[in-house]
Chain A
Amino acid sequence: MPAMKPDRLGRLRSRRWFLQFGAAWSAAVAACTSKSNAPAAAEPRALGAPVSAYGSRSKFEKTARAFNQNTKVPLEEASSRTPLHDTYGIITPSSLHFERHHSGVPEIDPSLHTLTIHGLVDRPLVFTVDELKRLPSVSRIHFLECSGNGSSEWRGGSGDSDVQRIHGLTSCSEWTGVPVATLLRECGVHQDATWVLAEGADASKHDRSIPMKKLMDDAMVAYGQNGEPLRPEQGYPIRLFLPGWEGNANVKWLRRLKVMNAPVMSREETSKYTDLMADGTARQFTFDMEPKSLITRPSGGDTLNGPGPYELTGIAWSGRGTIVSVEITTNGGETWTRADLQTPVLRIAHTRFRYMWKWDGREALIASRCTDDTGYTQPTITELVKVRGVNSNYHNNGIQAWKVASDGKITNGNSTALL
């Protein structure tokens, strides 16, 4: 594949776009202009609202996280999902970041909260939140995805489901914090230390054992999200952030790091976040989130308004590196064509892609697949099932297909797709 350079608008574009769609696009723009019959807004004369201390979105915007209220699962240990269909670019607004809690969102006064590091260290230390903020900080844009994202699709999914309900447990933010390596060096880690238990200050004291290597590599104790303090739902005042690793290991409301030489075998890392295979064995410590992509718009629940050009857009990401290409099929996997990538294309971050499709009005199965810089290409769900069976629940990074009916109505295509 030839290397592409971004254009002035930061789009990594293939030449195909211009050849195939130049003419169609001009016609579409002309059609839109001539068809416009919206009522004209009144000439503005009334004074607008004054300045305010903390902004809020327009009252006309209603997009929101989605969660299932009619469930026996208490909402304190439920999840809410990001409206991927209605978000732009690569950053998820903090207020729309997905949630998964194990015992509710604690209300924590940052002046009373501390992080204790102890165990196999020379100097056990207690840090206040203010002290953490005095240490050298880093800011990085990374996605965060729940390992259960897309779990409904292991057994074919539901035709009327949509991208938010199926895949809304991924979000992308700019995270700011102090590298865990800095803190561990302050404490003097013993040479035989190989694991660290991370524990939260929520009611269930959610805990996961994390390999020392990851913590010394790129982990951070984060206190900032998209330029302001973490939201309470995301771990205020501090959380562990492990770039590319499954959500639940990124312990929120972090209160303790215990340096050890073996995993503690907590409930979460034995009975819960383990992946059951068809033969009855279970994979443990399945931390990284593998390359995955989604067409987010148009997608399940949308209806195309007649044949013609449509931009297919979506996101791709890899917990192991950087997205190098996204390919689109509009014929159920018979042929694949490269989509344009929007720069910046960042490591372990959502990457926005776009593809101009000229719909001919016939039934179609559309999907995206991505490849990252490790050379891994996103597989089909069928390929995943062949290796893992349908009981694993977690880590579904399979290709998501959308079925476009001849009347333009789009539904979940996974139950029929054998890409």
Chain B
Amino acid sequence: MLGLRPIIIAAQSSSYGVGRAPKAEELKTIDIDIAPDGKALPPGSGTAAAGKLVYASRCETCHGATGTEGPQEVIAGGKGSLATSHPQKTVGSYWPYATTLWDYIRRAMPFDHPGTLSDDQIYATTAYVLFLNGIVGEQDVIDQTSLPKVQMPNRNGFVTDPRPDIPKKKP
């Protein structure tokens, strides 16, 4: 009697009851992303002057004395190169948000020992990389208030994906 069977509609409310609520301290450990508004940045601060020391001991081997030498990712220089035949996509020439730098250093750097820098060291290193790119001064204090306000040179360099971008062929 198909006509008499009740129709069950999956509701938007919880239907399986699997999973448990996360504990506050669990979320604190893994909720690490920093968006451009910087609201999730922790307390702490640093200057390029302080960051120079952290950089020399933890970053320079891979990124070079001034961020331009490599052997790994070139993180400074490249200004005005994006529309040339040899574009250099560095923090100064390409990255649209300074908050992303803070997020990525905490998330993934140093490459072989991520998670070993203190928040103050991350602020200082961020300040130093921005200083190497001529974006902040050597004594500028970078913290949860000032970092989101840093204007990156390529802030408006990105467009949304327009593909498909090749004219359709006639069948």
What separation, in Å, do the CA atoms of A207 and B10 have in the docked complex?
31
B6 near A: Cβ within 8 Å? no
B16-49 contacts to A, CB under 8 A, are: 16, 18-22, 26-27, 30-36
Q: Which of B92-100, B118-126, B130-138, B139-147 binds A?
A: B92-100
B89 near A: Cβ within 8 Å? yes
Q: What 1/0 flags go to A107-140 for Cβ under 8 Å of B?
A: 0000000001010000111110001001100000
What separation, in Å, do the CA atoms of A176 and B107 have in the docked complex?
29
Contacting pair B18 A186 (CB below 8 A): yes
Question: Which of B18, B82, B108, B169 is A276 in contact with, Cβ under 8 Å?
Answer: B82
Q: Taking the nearest CB of chain B, how far is it from the CB of A75, in angstroms?
A: 12
Question: Which of A102, A188, A197, A375 is B14 in contact with, Cβ under 8 Å?
Answer: A188
What separation, in Å, do the CA atoms of A102 and B111 have in the docked complex?
10
Q: Taking the nearest CB of chain A, how far is it from the CB of B100, in angstroms?
A: 5
Across-interface contacts of A203 in B (CB, < 8 A): 108, 114
Across-interface contacts of B12 in A (CB, < 8 A): 185, 188
A126-B22, A135-B16, A376-B168 as given contacts; A255 in contact with B163, CB under 8 Å: no
What separation, in Å, do the CA atoms of A93 and B157 have in the docked complex?
41
Contacting pair A125 B19 (CB below 8 A): yes
A118-B22, A124-B22, A267-B104 as given contacts; A283 in contact with B161, CB under 8 Å: yes
Q: What 1/0 flags go to B157-168 for Cβ under 8 Å of A?
A: 111111111101
Q: Taking the nearest CB of chain B, how far is it from the CB of A187, in angstroms?
A: 8
A124-B22, A204-B108 as given contacts; A284 in contact with B158, CB under 8 Å: yes
A363 near B: Cβ within 8 Å? no
Number of chain B residues whose Cβ lies closer than 8 Å to a Cβ of chain A: 55
B57 near A: Cβ within 8 Å? no
Contacting pair B26 A186 (CB below 8 A): no
What separation, in Å, do the CA atoms of A125 and B14 have in the docked complex?
11
Across-interface contacts of A57 in B (CB, < 8 A): none
Contacting pair B26 A287 (CB below 8 A): no
A35 near B: Cβ within 8 Å? no
A245-270 contacts to B, CB under 8 A, are: 255-256, 258, 260, 262, 264-267, 270
A14 near B: Cβ within 8 Å? no
Across-interface contacts of A255 in B (CB, < 8 A): 30
A266-B33, A280-B157, A376-B168 as given contacts; A116 in contact with B22, CB under 8 Å: yes
Across-interface contacts of A287 in B (CB, < 8 A): 161
A278 near B: Cβ within 8 Å? yes
Given contact pairs A77-B111, A387-B165, A391-B87, enumerate 14 new A-B contacts (beta carbons under 8 Å). Answer: A127-B18, A131-B18, A185-B12, A186-B16, A186-B18, A188-B12, A203-B114, A262-B35, A265-B35, A265-B97, A274-B158, A280-B87, A286-B163, A287-B161
Which 10 residue pairs of A and B lie closest in terms of their CB atoms, listed nearest first? A280-B83, A204-B108, A125-B19, A280-B82, A267-B104, A286-B161, A284-B158, A379-B166, A127-B19, A377-B169
27 chain-A/chain-B pairs, Cβ below 8 angstroms? A116-B22, A116-B26, A116-B30, A118-B27, A124-B22, A135-B18, A188-B12, A199-B33, A205-B32, A205-B108, A205-B114, A255-B30, A264-B103, A265-B99, A266-B104, A267-B108, A270-B96, A271-B94, A276-B87, A282-B94, A283-B161, A283-B163, A288-B163, A374-B164, A383-B166, A387-B166, A391-B85
Binding site for A on B (CB under 8 A): 10, 12-16, 18-22, 26-27, 30-36, 70-72, 82-83, 85, 87, 89, 91, 94-97, 99-101, 103-104, 107-108, 111, 114, 157-166, 168-169, 171
